[in-house]
Amino acid sequence: MNIVKRFGPLAGLIATLLTTTTLAAVPETFPVQGLLTTSAGQPAPDGSYVAVFTIWDDETDGAQLWKETLGIVVADGVFSAVLGRDIVLPTAAFDDGTARWLQVQLGTEPPLPRRSLDAVPYALVSRRLGCTGCVDAAHLDAASVQALVASWGFVHASALAPVATSGTFASLSAIPADLADGDDDTKYTGANFALSGQACTAGRYVTGTDANGLPVCSASSNQADNAIGWMTIHASAAAACRGSTASGGTGCCGNSVRVRNTSSALTCTQICSGAGETCDAEVSVWGRAGKATANGELVGSFYNYGCGNAGNGGSEVNAADGDAQTAGYWSFCCCRK
């Protein structure tokens, strides 16, 4: 029994399907429907058939652009199929609007005449956002773009140091040798005070420290200008006071030695009196100029060992105050309890 095959895309159905889905996403399949009849014009018998669908770039010849084999079911001569489910449709084939043709072959029967694919299948091109008069990078003026980038303060990637993108220690430049060895510790091997950038040059002496703990140097060669020499000044002052009969004689336990700032008008009598003591004498020891030590500041005390025994006669200095090191020409008051 000969069967006459007729088919055609259902434009109305296709349009409906695409219209209901385009807002969300353009589908990559489309349905077709055909009618199979006998030579007498009656519907073909119901049943299952194997159909081969192909798309071509010419109506009768040309190149095959796509192929898909599907099983179809015929009922009352009518069959339906959805193309592109198993083999993705070549959406790029519709980009330029060139005509395309659909061909169907049932089993071993000769292929049916090709049918042109009209507007609806070309809606697939919308997924590629094709447009007329589009502006792309080639249409932009490079100078204008650079000026805009500069006005916004953007930094070119090429201007960034490698460490900005790698974040690794190896991308740093000018790494000090002590760090370049890769360990996480630094050992100081310098001399003097090189680590802090402070050092006393030849012929200068450390006389104290500043507010930051750095050494203070003096050009004076006199021993009174260094820390050890200051202790000697204390001892000298105590010894000088010890030489006073009243201060160093019998009954003088706990007598004191106090600084007299020669830039002040206060006398030793006034200084000792302010401490509740009596001035016996004033002694001087040479030192630096520019005193800054407060009047009456206690720099040491001397005691007679075996108080009451003038022959024992020893003395000592204690309670040395670091502030006294900033004084200049040393003048001391011998105060008696």
* CA dist., res. 225 & res. 327, Å (int): 10
End-to-end CA distance of the chain: 147
Return the structure tokens found at 67. 């192929």
In this structure, is residue 247 part of a structural domain? yes
In this structure, is residue 142 part of a structural domain? no
Q: Does residue 97 register a pLDDT over 70?
A: yes
Handedness of CA 184, 190, 192, 194 (dihedral sign): negative
- Identity of the residue numbered 268: C
Tens of pLDDT along 5-56? Answer: 444 443 333 333 333 334 445 677 888 888 877 778 888 889 999 999 999 9
- The domain boundary, picked from 128, 157, 176, lies at 128
Segment of 88-102, 131-145, 174-188 carrying the highest mean pLDDT: 88-102
Any idea what the CATH number is for the domain that residue 20 is in?
Answer: 2.60.40
For residue 242, the Cα-to-chain-centroid distance in whole angstroms is 68
- The domain boundary, picked from 128, 163, 191, lies at 128
- The domain boundary, picked from 78, 95, 128, lies at 128
CA distances from 12 to 26, 93, 126, 130, 168 (A): 17, 23, 19, 24, 63
- Cβ proximity of 336 and 287 under 8 Å: no
Is the pTM value of this prediction over 0.75? no
DSSP string, 215-275: EEEE---SGGGSHHHHHHHHHHHHHHHHTSHHHHSTT-TT-EEEE--TTS---HHHHHHHT
- Cβ proximity of 8 and 33 under 8 Å: yes
In this structure, is residue 202 part of a structural domain? no
In this structure, is residue 217 part of a structural domain? no
Q: Give the range of the structural domain holding residue 318, as residue numbers without chain letter.
A: 224-336
In this structure, is residue 144 part of a structural domain? no
